Amino acid sequence: MYGLEAIATNNGWAISVVGVSIVFTGLMLLSLSISRIHKILDLWDNRNDIRIFRKKTQEKKEPVLLVFTENNKESARQFRLLIKTMDDPFSLQCLLYLAQISGLERPHSSLCRLIKAGIIEPDHQGKYFFNREAFKKFAS
Amino acid sequence: MSGELEILKKGTIFSSLAPADLEKLGSILEKWDIQEGETLATKEERATYFFILSSGTLLIAMDEGKSAVMNRAGDFIGMELLSSKGKYINSVIALENGEVLAMKRDDFIDLIQEDSLLAETIMYHWNSFLEENFSFVAQKEIPDTAYQY
């Protein structure tokens, strides 16, 4: 048996149709991918704009491991007294000024430690509030 | 210079710049050591420098008693957060020892004036940064052009 008869007998037509379909499907997918490649590259270039691609360091702050010495605790207590005299939420720059004129030791770095410990937290409107729980945890 | 570029890549504003743009920006940066209590910028004085935080913590003292605290490497303290029409509108004080990358305001403005694409990229990321972290600053009036800083 030769020629077309042999092809028909051994499912040659079906096999060739399947083969052609596979090749054409592959070519279509390839051309679609190439036509969209600029979008993929744009996405990659601006990956920082997409939340799931952002580096973890940008996304959330590492938990701060702070140790408060007795001096640090005393300083935190002095800051708490100053904050009690202020509005809630209070102005951070006013607090720093009050700490300076009150003669607190190293007011800048002490204030910085309180912020890092979360004892002083932002209200996201430019003012700050005192976090009692964090104060108890670190400084009481 | 590679140290400066690494800091630029850490922040959200400059990290998406092309390597050539990062190099250009890196070439105008100066490394400054800062000490706690040091004032880097004083309100009403002539705006000479913008800053990129490398390490440490900075307090930006604004009008109406408002403040912003910057403590992430790559944070940018410049443009409408710091100056308007060539004058500082806020003061910047170091809360702890650290390091900043300082760039002359005029050099920065020249850089973004020369390259509109670079300016557009920086402005886009800058506005996102402000909205995300300091929405109370973004709500203030935004100058018509970048060159009013």
Quick: pLDDT tens for A78-91: 999 999 999 989 99
Contacts of B67 (CB under 8 A, 6+ apart): A91, A92, A93, A126, A127, A128, B59, B60, B61
The percent of residues above 90 in pLDDT, for chain B, comes to 49
State yes or no: pLDDT of B22 exceeds 50: yes
Q: Is the pLDDT of residue A37 over 80?
A: yes
pTM greater than 0.80 (yes/no): no
Contacts of A77-82 with C-beta under 8 Å, sequence gap 24+, read: A77/A139, A78/A102, A78/A104, A79/A104, A79/A110, A79/A111, A79/A114, A79/A119, A79/A120, A80/A130, A80/A135, A80/A139
Q: Which residues in chain B have Cβ-Cβ distances shorter than 8 Å to A96? A: 59, 93
End-to-end alpha-carbon separation of chain B, Å?
26
How confident is the model over A73-101, as a mean pLDDT? 94
| Joined tokens for residue B55 | 């390490």
| Token pair in block for residue B61 | 């003292």
Whether the per-residue pLDDT at B115 is higher than 50: the answer is yes
Task: Give the nearest partner residue to B16 out of A46, A107, A108, using CB atoms.
Answer: A46
Among residues of chain A, what percentage have pLDDT more than 70?
Answer: 86
Please name the member of B61, B66, B137 whose beta carbon is closest to the beta carbon of A127.
B66
Q: Would you give the DSSP letter of residue A64?
A: P
Per-residue pLDDT at B127 exceeds 50: yes
CA A64 to chain centre: 16
Between CA B38 and CA B77 the distance in angstroms is 15
A130 contacts A89 by C-beta, under 8 angstroms = no
Confidence label for A60 from pLDDT (cuts 50, 70 and 90): low
What backbone torsions phi and psi does residue B135 show, to the nearest 5 degrees?
-60, -30
What distance in Å separates the CA atoms of residue A7 and residue A63, rounded to the nearest whole number? 72
The answer to whether the Cβ–Cβ distance between B67 and A108 falls below 8 Å is no
Which chain B residue has its CA at the smallest distance from A55's CA?
Answer: B10
CB of A51 within 8 Å of a chain B CB? The answer is: no
Q: For the stretch B75-112, what's the b/e string if a residue is b when 16 or more beta carbons lie within 10 angstroms of its beta carbon?
A: bbbbbbbbbbeeebbbbbbbbbbbbbbbbebeebbebb
Tell if the CB–CB gap between A116 and B71 is shorter than 8 Å: yes
User: At residue A19, does pLDDT exceed 90?
Assistant: yes
At residue A122, does pLDDT exceed 50?
Answer: yes
Tokens representing A80 are 């708490």
Contact assignment for A93 to B61 by CB distance below 8 Å: yes
B64 contact residues in A (CB cutoff 8 A): 126
B114 sits in which H/E element? helix B105-114
Residue of B16, B57, B65 with shortest CB distance to A112: B57
Minimal Cα–Cα distance from A112 to chain B, Å?
6
Q: The tokens of A106 are what?
A: 């190293």
Q: Which of B36, B62, B135 to mutate to test the interface with A (most CBs of A within 10 A)?
A: B36
Provide the angle, in degrees to the nearest 10, between the axes of the packed helices B116-133 and B105-114.
120
Which A-chain residues 77-116 have CB contacts (< 8 A) with chain B? 91-94, 96, 106-109, 111-112, 115-116
- pLDDT for A52: 62
